Amino acid sequence: MLAELLIHSYFNIVKREMIDMVPKAISLNLVNHSKDNLQRELLQELYKPDVLDELLKESEYVVSRRREVISMVQALNKAEEYALFFLPKLSGFTDTIAHRIVAGV
């Protein structure tokens, strides 16, 4: 009697699990199939020559921003050259001024 009740309970648990697993398995197969098809179609569209050229083309904003940044880098390089040229000369000049201030001249 007890064994029969336990077996019956066990089969009810297995039955509920199977009922829960079937929709999940179907959904998983549908999702994987859709994902594979979508990926294949997207790659086909992406690697078309005319689309690829369009995707790789830079926007006008990027082109103008690059020009601005290049000019800023050139200006900074020029400023660095001036600083490296004049800094040693200015340090001697500032030392002289500091001595005069301390001496009260």
- pTM of full prediction above 0.95: no
User: How far, in Å, CA of 4 to CA of 78, rounded?
Assistant: 93
Question: How many Å apart are CA 105 and CA 100, to the nearest integer?
Answer: 5
Report the alpha-carbon distance of residue 94 to residue 90 in Å, rounded: 6
The pLDDT tens digits for 45-99 are: 888 877 777 878 889 999 999 999 999 999 999 998 888 887 766 666 655 655 5
Q: Once rounded to an integer, what is the mean pLDDT over residues 15-33?
A: 94
Helix (H), strand (E), coil (C) string for 57-102: CCCHHHHHHHHHHHHHHHHHHHHHHHHHHHHHHHHHHHHHHHHHHH
